[in-house]
Amino acid sequence: MTSAVPRTCALTVAVLTALTALPALADTAAQPTTLDRVDVTAADSTDAARKALSRVPGAGNVIDLAAVSQGRVGSTADVLAYQPGISAQSPGNEGTKVSIRGSGINRGPGAHASGISVSLDGLPLTGAGGTPYELLEPLWLSRVEVLRGANGFERGALALGGAINYVSRNGRDAPGMELHYEAGSHGYQKRSIGYGGVQDTLDYYFAYTDTEFDGYQKHASGDGKGAMANIGWQITPDLQTRFFLRYRETNHETPGRLTRDQVRNDPRAANPANLAIDAKRPQPGSIWIGNMTTLQLDEDSSLQAGLVYHKYPMDLNESLYRQKLDYADLNATLDYRRRHALFGHDSVTTIGLRIAHGLDADVRETLRFASNGYAAGTHTRDFSHLGTISTLHVGNELSLTDALHVQTGFAVVQTRSDVQVTWPRTDQRLNQRDWDYAPRLGFTWQASPQTQWFGNLSRSVEPAHPWSMIWGSNQYFGAGYGPSTGRQRAPVELDNQTATTLELGARGEARIGRWELTGYYAHVNHELLSVEVMPVPNLFIAENNASPTVHRGVEAGLDSTLWQGGSSRVSLRQAYTFSDFRYRHDERFGDNRLPGLPKHFYQAELRYDHGSGFYAALNTEYASKMFVDYANSFSADSHVIFGSRLGFDAPSGRWQGWLELRNLGDRHYAATVTPGYDDGGNDVARSTPGEGFGVYAGARLRF
């Protein structure tokens, strides 16, 4: 069976390639020549977001949560499923590992994510320390916008993986009261209540959600609860403002990673080391308060300003040390947009400023257990790792003809890292400031009403997280420092990761459905990977700048209507991602592939919808084997899993119910891999198992 799936993937790519030659089926309006901003308060905002995406000279995704919520929506992995170019795998809790074009490939699930700039309602969530995940509750969302790779430029998102914007529900697209409940295998339950409405110039939406689960593995239980608010005010016809609030508490045990043999034969086990120390990750309460205000200066220009305060403390109990972190960020955006004539052609110019500033990143470290004659709770170390990322970007879209648009842009980036151990006191403080740049040239060509070609040549910039400069240090306190002996005493400098990417693709509609096909090739310098900092006999491996690498791939999507009969239909949606990430003539690893992601990844769903509101679907997922270390000495198995769901969505919109079966064959497989350096062909615990067979059901009532 597994050999048939790659052939299916290859066939999908071949079919999509041929689509651009198909003739137009019907006359449609030409592409708009301006880059109008999407109004998130409009009821048809998802359609508007798709139209905005069609003007971007690169690949992206728009995900409607109304469709996602017709099954379990336990985590970000459920939200980002069936999307070309996106890898999103859950370890059984909310710490989903999300990667686009190899971004954050060396990260494990449950950690702050890297390589993608994440926003909530256009306001930055990603800070200098990465992207926390506890505020990404799916039931609070109306849609998700993804700009893959360097296509997040206009939002000041310069990371290799691009940008993801999670858009909240509001009183205009979710009026009235809504009750939501879902439950299923492994102790999973989710309860939510939401209420929205419109009153004169105000709209509002409030929600409360709580979740609990036992987890698929032993020692994997957890829970979370929180509330959100979204309040908009149209002050005048030209001035509107919107306030956002999110608060959430989470707590989950950490079962740890398993060997390939354990994944095959005992995937529900926990890593013995994690059990021995009762590893867990409490996050006592994250709060995110933001405002976005838009002023229409005249019919051709607008100014938008955003400000957000984000406090997200953590209490890490995942090692022999307890680390209490007091994270706080102040993030801001400012965007000016003007439509005007340039060289006699329609043109839109944008100027934007995006700042992510760390206010607090202090860590207090103590012993969790008695050690070397010191009692549990003994103070071992204090350190801080502050950072700031400031991006100024200028862009222009020039309409050379109704069909051909050219986009140019240039961004300047300043990064600052301030890292030091404050107790025991040292004078080895790292205060690093760097300047970098990111030019961009792209185009869209509407070859026919049904086919659009696009492409861009862009540079991306990604600074190292300040915390990695101390966590990955090879400088330690020596003898004479009591309980601090052996802990890192000084940070190390890391260079910005940069990449130059060429992207070409096409998208459109044809007889076989709505399709897209994209290819990209990126030369990456100073990629942040797990690198051997010191050789044996003093072997030390930590996140550091690697030798040059290449990231290249193909992303394909196809949504087809196979049969239509009145108001009923049979449809098939498919998403295929080919990923080839490797070293460029590394001294030790040659042209080895980078571990952590499969080379081939395919998801598909065959679905029947009846005019009465009944629906039934069968889905599948295939992932090829993936290496678990940079030496390519060992790999996790490939897998094929199947699932199904059926439900009823009342035509009145008043209620919905569904039943979902996951992993019908109870296939044992690795959902994620946290790469090692060189395992020498040994089966080392690197894998997090995917969930086995599960049954889930849910219902939603609207008043």
pLDDT tens for each residue of 74-100: 999 999 999 999 999 987 777 889 999
User: Pairing mode, if any, of strands 176-184 and 162-168?
Assistant: unpaired
Q: Is 225 exposed, middle or buried (0-12, 13-18, 19+ CB in 10 A)?
A: middle
Element housing 8 (H / E): helix 4-19
Q: Would the pLDDT of 45 be above 50?
A: yes
Q: Does any domain span residue 8? A: no
Burial of 634 (0-12, 13-18, 19+ CB in 10 A): buried
What confidence tier does 472 reach under pLDDT thresholds 50, 70, 90? confident
Q: Given its phi and psi angles, is residue 11 left (phi above 0), alpha (psi -120 to 50 degrees) or beta?
A: alpha
Q: pLDDT band for position 540 (50/70/90)? A: low
Residue 11, pLDDT above cutoff 60: no
Specify the number of domains making up the chain: 1
Q: How many helices (H) and strands (E) does the chain have?
A: 7, 36
Strand order across the beta sheet in which 123-124 lies: 60-64, 141-148, 162-168, 117-120, 123-124
Q: Give the predicted TM-score (pTM) of the model.
A: 0.92
Q: Are 597 and 606 in contact (CB under 8 A)?
A: no
pLDDT of 17 higher than 60: no
Residue located via tokens 């020596």: 478
Q: What is the pLDDT of residue 107?
A: 80
Q: What is the pLDDT of residues 485-514, one digit of tens each?
A: 999 999 999 999 999 999 999 999 999 999
CB 443 within 8 A of CB 405: yes
Name the pairing type of β-strands 655-662 and 222-236.
unpaired
> Could you tell me which of 88, 163, 85 has the C-alpha nearest to residue 123?
163
Q: Give the pLDDT confidence score for residue 2 in this predicted structure.
A: 39
Q: Please indicate, yes or no, if residue 212 is contained in any of the structural domains.
A: yes
Q: What's the CA gap between 438 and 452, in Å, rounded?
A: 26
Whether residue 145 is contained in a domain is answered as yes
User: Average of pLDDT values for 5-28?
Assistant: 36
The pLDDT mean for the chain works out to: 91
Nearest alpha carbon to residue 21 among 517, 614, 461, 611: 517
Q: What CATH number is associated with residue 236?
A: 2.40.170.20
Nearest to 119 by CA among 456, 448, 450, 354: 354
Domain that holds residue 563: 42-702
The arithmetic mean of pLDDT across residues 558-567, rounded, is 95
Rounded Cα–Cα distance for residues 565 and 549 (Å): 51
| Domain assignment present for 9 | no
Token match 């999307």: residue?
83
Within a domain: 93: yes
The answer as to whether 6 is a domain residue is no
Other beta carbons less than 10 A from residue 297's beta carbon: 12
Model pLDDT, residue 8: 36
pLDDT at 663 over 50: yes
Distance CA(673)–CA(85), nearest Å, equals 18
Query: Higher model confidence: residue 585 or residue 21?
Result: 585
Q: Is residue 374 part of a domain?
A: yes
Summarised one tens digit per residue, pLDDT across range 443-459 is 999 999 999 999 999 99
| Of 483 and 6, more confident | 483
Residue 37 covered by a domain = no
Q: How far is it, in rounded angstroms, from Cα 575 to Cα 505?
A: 15
Residue 103 scores a pLDDT above 90: yes
Q: Residue 289 in contact with residue 244, Cβ under 8 Å? A: yes
pLDDT of 535: 67
Residue 633 has pLDDT above 60, yes or no: yes
